[in-house]
Amino acid sequence: MKGTGDWERHPFILGSGRHHDPAFAALLLVAFASVMCLGGLGAGPPLSDHEAINAQAARQTIQSGEWLIPRLGEIPWIRKTPLGIWATAAVSLVVDDPSEAPVSELSARLPSAIAAFVNALLAWWLASMTYGRRAGLVGGFICAGCVATVFYSHDAQVDMLLAMLTTLSFACFYRGAVHPQPRKGFMVAFYFALSLAMMAKAPLPLATVGLALVVYWFVTAPLLRLTSPSAVEGGGSLARRLSGGFVRQFKDLGRLWLIPGVLAFVVLAGAWPLYVYCKIDNAANLWLIEYLDRYTGDMSDESRPFLYYVPIVFGLTAPFLLSLPEAVAAPFLRRYRPQREGLTYAFTWMVVGLLFLSSASFKRPHYVLSIVPACCLLLTPVIDRLFFGMVSVASKVVQGVCRALPVLLAISLVLGGVLLNLKYPSLLRAYTLVACGALAVWTAAAWSYARGRRTMSFALLNLAMMIVPLFVWPILGKHISPNPEGQALALALRENGVASDAPIYWVGGRPDASIEFYSHYRIRRLIDEIEMTEIRENRRSLSAELYREFARRIEQQLAQSEPVYLIMTAGHYSMLQRNTEIQSRVLFTLDGFHDEPGDELVVVTQSR
């Protein structure tokens, strides 16, 4: 059967369709990934707090020339490894106007965009090694076109850089140790990539890469060999075959270049922490709080359920999320037996990483980004089979599904519009236009699939995602402000005659980094995070001693002869007035940003 197919008389059984030039398909992938990762990059919303942390630290790195220990405000920013800051500073030196302040929004987000583009190409390479050339291209398109790529490629946090280095680590390890013709040079590249991943966001890669590969090598690979046809035909008891598989994995450890590789990793990944430890007092205590307390939940009272990341993973793999259940089951399904080695590799990567992240008490959506490439690799054989391979499904089922999907999508878009109107009513008109466009393209994709034009359907499915960087992101830039309270604070400081170089202190917590990035006000912390490690007993409660130390420092600053400004909540200021005799006056109060009384910000200065 050729062409469009005839669902009335035939089941859905198609081959790979017409021959396409692989070079042309690769060129399309590169062009598509470029649009998805770089499109509209300079037209989005202002940097959020966590984006501005990297951007501001990179700006100060360029201005001060202190690259080894970046600073955020007056504080050495050592709680995170600095690769993201270095990358942003390096890009700014290349693309920004030297006559203006270093690090623009574009240069802050460009490292993530480049990393996302490279990540899609790495997914293409790894999928090609494990599944073949055609499926490799499909995997590249899946990775380039999913929500995770389009969103986090336009985000200035370090997570997309970490995801790219994670994919590079897994790709190099596969080529260097798992491939039928392993090459030791790729194991050298693996240890280097893993070291860079640690410099991007330590110590997470130890679990998402290191632990996952240990499980693959000593658990997944022996079990995979146990179920291979040659092992079954060779006979012997199950226990004997299993022990033989483990013995072979131990014998093959020589492939891993283990001793020199681990030594190189320790040197490359450990040099910066060792330098910081020698230079900054209490660095070890800060890292203990940042990493261990974050994992155990002692960092805050906030608690997320164990399955918190499951719906997020589904959302980040859109528009292919409906195939994710089959993709997760694919390593155990007979129809995917030829791809089982690659599937189990990606499955181990995803499951170990997801279990580790889920076991942590402190959870954030972007933490899961480094396992999304594994989900894309699991999806690859499934999407390749559905759109380009041999599939046998009753024609009525195909017709019914292709009719139902646009209806379900339309209902989802309407519900999304209702929710959007509650929080951002100004976006509703633009959302309606974009949603109608996406619905039209996806409906055309479903119609094409129902008529057997699967290549066209796959193209339209990806084409609809290009709406996000080209239209949605610029629209968000015109209507979304991540920190309106911070903007109002900077404006009120100017209106009240507070100079940008005046001593301004944030009492309690940390100021939103976007305030300093955009307003150029240098807002210091009354007690910085390194000092806090000596005073604070834990992250969830404030001791009486800490309150007394805050009061002492407030009194000390207000005793200065020059004007000093303290930013705190109205509730904390009321408590200060009730429990101390410190003389002060309120310069201004910011109202209208909080529902709970006492949460609004006040700026306090000397009473005279």
DSSP string spanning 279-322?
A: HSTTHHHHHIIIIIIHHHTTT-S----GGGHHHHHHHHTTTSGG
pLDDT at residue 478 in the model: 84
Are residue 268 and residue 129 in the same domain, yes or no? yes
Are residue 197 and residue 319 in the same domain, yes or no? yes
Residue 2 lies in a domain: no
pLDDT at residue 500 in the model: 87
pLDDT at residue 375 in the model: 98
Residue 413 lies in a domain: yes
pLDDT at residue 13 in the model: 40
pLDDT at residue 17 in the model: 44
Residue 334 CA to residue 347 CA, distance in Å, equals 16
pLDDT at residue 394 in the model: 73
Please state the domain count of the chain: 3
Tell me which of 479, 494, 523 is where a domain ends. Answer: 479
Residue 329 lies in a domain: yes
Q: Check whether the bond before 563 is cis (ω within 30° of 0).
A: no
Are residue 242 and residue 369 in the same domain, yes or no? yes
Are residue 531 and residue 440 in the same domain, yes or no? no
Residue 393's H or E segment, with its range, is: none
pLDDT at residue 229 in the model: 59
pLDDT at residue 220 in the model: 94
Residue 23 lies in a domain: no
Q: How is the beta sheet containing 565-569 ordered, strand by strand?
A: 523-525, 504-506, 565-569, 601-605, 585-589
**Cβ contact 85:77 at 8 Å:** yes
User: Which residue stretches of the chain have pLDDT < 50?
Assistant: 1-19, 232
Tell me which of 450, 479, 508 is where a domain ends. Answer: 479
Closest CA to 511 of 191, 75, 165: 75
pLDDT at residue 5 in the model: 38
pLDDT at residue 224 in the model: 86
Are residue 209 and residue 70 in the same domain, yes or no? yes
Are residue 209 and residue 288 in the same domain, yes or no? yes
Q: Beta-carbon neighbour count of residue 303 at 10 Å?
A: 10
Residue 22 lies in a domain: no
Q: Write the pLDDT tens digit of every residue in 575-596.
A: 999 888 889 999 999 998 988 8
Tell me which of 354, 388, 422 is where a domain ends. Answer: 388
Are residue 154 and residue 206 in the same domain, yes or no? yes
pLDDT at residue 536 in the model: 62
Are residue 243 and residue 292 in the same domain, yes or no? yes
Residue 339 lies in a domain: yes
Residue 292 lies in a domain: yes
Are residue 473 and residue 579 in the same domain, yes or no? no
pLDDT at residue 16 in the model: 42
Are residue 76 and residue 213 in the same domain, yes or no? yes
Q: What separation in angstroms does the CA of 310 have from each of 303, 316, 334, 357, 382?
A: 16, 10, 25, 11, 19
**Cβ contact 603:566 at 8 Å:** yes
Are residue 444 and residue 492 in the same domain, yes or no? no
Are residue 339 and residue 421 in the same domain, yes or no? no
pLDDT at residue 299 in the model: 65
Q: Which domain holds residue 428?
A: 396-479
